[in-house]
Structure 1
Amino acid sequence: MIYTSLRTKCLSILLLLTSAVVHSQTLKPGVLVVGASPSGIAAAIQAAHSGVKTILIDEGSIASVELSQKDREDAYGIPKELLDKIEKLQKYPVKSNQTLLPEYLGTVLKGWTDTIKNLTVIRNSSISSVKKAGKDWEIRIPNNTIKTDIVVDATIGRKIADLVGLRDPANSGDSSTYAYQLYRTSVAVPLKSSKVPATIPLKFFLSSFKNFVYATPDTNADQYTYASGQAAGAIAAYCAFFKTTTDKLNVRLIQSELMTYKSRLMKFADIAALDSNVLAFQKLALTGIVKGGESENRFYFHPDSSISTDDIREPVKEYYSRSQIWFLDNKAEKITMEQLLSLIKFTAQRGAELNKEVEQGWKTSFKLPDSFDLRRPVSRREFTVLFDRYLRPFDVSVDQNGRLKR
Structure 2
Amino acid sequence: MIKKILFFLCLYCINTVYAETIKTDVLVIGGSASGTAAAIQCARSKIKTILVEPGPWLGGSMTAGGICILDANKNIPSGIYGEFRKKVTEFYKKTPGYDTTYNATLRFEPYTGAATLKKMADTVKNLTVKLNTPWTNVKKDDTGWDVTIMQNGKSTTIKAHVLIDATEFADVAAKAGATLTSGTEGRQDTGEKLAPEAASANIRDLTWAIILKDYSSTADKTIPQPENYNANLYTCLKNKDIKKLLTEGKLPNDEYLINWAECGNRYAATTEQLAPNKRQDFFKALRLQTLGLIYYLQTELGYKNLGFDENFNTPGHLPYMPYIREYRHIKGDVRMVMDDIYTPYNRASKLYRTSIGVGDAMPDQNMISPVDYPPFPAYSIPLGAVVVKDLDNLIVTENAISVTHLVGASTCNPAVQMTLGQGAGTVAAFCAFFKTTTQHLNVRAIQGEILDFKGYLLPLSDIPLADPDFRAIQQVSATGLLQTKMQASTGNTLKVVFAPDSLVRTAEVKPVINEIYTRGFLWFNKTKPGAYITVGNLLSFISEITLAEPKPLQTDLQKQWKSKYKFKDNFDLNRPVTRREFAVLANKFLNPFARQVDLSGKLIN
- Which TM-score bucket, shorter chain as reference? 0.7 to 0.9
Q: Within 5 Å, give how 1:314-353 maps onto structure 2.
A: 314-328=511-525, 329-351=527-549, 352-353=551-552
Check the 8 A contact 1:277/1:367 in 2, yes or no.
no
- Stretch moving more, 339-348 or 168-177: 168-177
Check the 8 A contact 1:174/1:199 in 2, yes or no.
no
Gaps of 5+ in 2: 1-8, 182-328, 330-334, 363-373, 489-493
Query: Which whole-Å deviations, capped at 9, do the CAs of 1:56-112 have from their partners, x for residues lacking one?
Result: 112224262547232455422002222344466667697247741110111122222
CA 1:175/1:239 → structure 2, altered by over 3 Å: closer, same or farther?
A: farther
1:199 to 366, 373, 380: 380
1:188 is matched by which residue type in structure 2?
A: G
User: In the TM superposition, what is the alpha-carbon distance from 1:247 to its structure 2 partner?
Assistant: 0.8
1:179 is matched by which residue type in structure 2?
A: N
Partner SS, residue 37 of structure 2: helix
d(CA) in 1 for partners of 2:105, 2:88: 15
Partner SS, residue 113 of structure 1: helix
Check the 8 A contact 2:28/2:49 in 1, yes or no.
yes
User: In the TM superposition, what is the alpha-carbon distance from 1:182 to its structure 2 partner?
Assistant: 1.8
Aligned to 1:281: 473
Check the 8 A contact 1:396/1:405 in 2, yes or no.
yes
2:483 to 291, 300, 305: 291
1:123 to 122, 131, 144: 131
User: In the TM superposition, what is the alpha-carbon distance from 1:288 to its structure 2 partner?
Assistant: 1.0
CA 1:372/1:323 → structure 2, altered by over 3 Å: closer, same or farther?
A: same
Gaps of 5+ in 1: 1-13
User: In the TM superposition, what is the alpha-carbon distance from 1:168 to its structure 2 partner?
Assistant: 3.1
Q: Within 5 Å, give how 1:60-75 maps onto structure 2.
A: 60=55, 61-62=57-58, 64-65=63-64, 66=68, 68-72=70-74, 74-75=76-77
CA 1:97/1:85 → structure 2, altered by over 3 Å: closer, same or farther?
A: closer
Partner SS, residue 28 of structure 1: strand
User: In the TM superposition, what is the alpha-carbon distance from 1:167 to its structure 2 partner?
Assistant: 2.5
d(CA) in 1 for partners of 2:132, 2:564: 50
- Stretch moving more, 126-135 or 89-98: 89-98
Aligned to 2:85: 83
User: In the TM superposition, what is the alpha-carbon distance from 1:364 to its structure 2 partner?
Assistant: 4.2
Q: How many residues align?
A: 391
Query: Which whole-Å deviations, capped at 9, do the CAs of 1:322-351 have from their partners, x for residues lacking one?
Result: 122221132212222112111111121111
Q: Within 5 Å, give how 1:241-280 maps onto structure 2.
A: 241-280=433-472
1:307 is matched by which residue type in structure 2?
A: V
User: In the TM superposition, what is the alpha-carbon distance from 1:24 to its structure 2 partner?
Assistant: 4.6
1:62 is matched by which residue type in structure 2?
A: L
Aligned to 2:5: none
d(CA) in 2 for partners of 1:91, 1:37: 26
User: In the TM superposition, what is the alpha-carbon distance from 1:21 to its structure 2 partner?
Assistant: 3.2
CA 1:317/1:228 → structure 2, altered by over 3 Å: closer, same or farther?
A: same
Check the 8 A contact 1:304/1:381 in 2, yes or no.
yes
Aligned Cα root-mean-square deviation (Å): 2.7
Partner SS, residue 140 of structure 2: strand
User: In the TM superposition, what is the alpha-carbon distance from 1:173 to its structure 2 partner?
Assistant: 6.0
Aligned to 1:222: 412
TM-score, normalisation: structure 2: 0.60
d(CA) in 2 for partners of 1:161, 1:121: 21
Aligned to 2:371: none
1:158 is matched by which residue type in structure 2?
A: A
Structure 2 residue 357 is the aligned partner of structure 1 residue 188: yes
Aligned to 1:162: 174
CA 1:94/1:257 → structure 2, altered by over 3 Å: closer, same or farther?
A: farther
User: In the TM superposition, what is the alpha-carbon distance from 1:148 to its structure 2 partner?
Assistant: 0.2
Aligned to 2:556: 357
d(CA) in 1 for partners of 2:82, 2:379: 20
User: In the TM superposition, what is the alpha-carbon distance from 1:371 to its structure 2 partner?
Assistant: 2.5
User: In the TM superposition, what is the alpha-carbon distance from 1:201 to its structure 2 partner?
Assistant: 1.1
Check the 8 A contact 1:174/1:200 in 2, yes or no.
no
Structure 2 residue 403 is the aligned partner of structure 1 residue 213: no
Aligned to 2:267: none
Identity in percent: 34
d(CA) in 1 for partners of 2:105, 2:142: 51
Partner SS, residue 72 of structure 2: helix
CA 1:30/1:380 → structure 2, altered by over 3 Å: closer, same or farther?
A: same
User: In the TM superposition, what is the alpha-carbon distance from 1:366 to its structure 2 partner?
Assistant: 2.3
Q: Within 5 Å, give how 1:11-90 maps onto structure 2.
A: 21=16, 24-60=19-55, 61-62=57-58, 64-65=63-64, 66=68, 68-72=70-74, 74-86=76-88
Query: Which whole-Å deviations, capped at 9, do the CAs of 1:344-390 have from their partners, x for residues lacking one?
Result: 11121111211122223323432322232223221111111111110
d(CA) in 2 for partners of 1:99, 1:307: 40
User: In the TM superposition, what is the alpha-carbon distance from 1:394 to its structure 2 partner?
Assistant: 0.3
Partner SS, residue 466 of structure 2: coil
Aligned to 2:507: 310
d(CA) in 2 for partners of 1:263, 1:111: 20
d(CA) in 2 for partners of 1:184, 1:394: 10
User: In the TM superposition, what is the alpha-carbon distance from 1:165 to its structure 2 partner?
Assistant: 2.8
1:155 is matched by which residue type in structure 2?
A: T
Higher helix share: 1
Check the 8 A contact 2:42/2:429 in 1, yes or no.
yes
User: In the TM superposition, what is the alpha-carbon distance from 1:229 to its structure 2 partner?
Assistant: 0.6
Aligned to 2:497: 300
d(CA) in 2 for partners of 1:381, 1:269: 15
Check the 8 A contact 2:392/2:437 in 1, yes or no.
yes
Partner SS, residue 139 of structure 2: strand
Check the 8 A contact 1:344/1:390 in 2, yes or no.
yes
Aligned to 1:112: 120
User: In the TM superposition, what is the alpha-carbon distance from 1:294 to its structure 2 partner?
Assistant: 2.7
User: In the TM superposition, what is the alpha-carbon distance from 1:303 to its structure 2 partner?
Assistant: 1.5
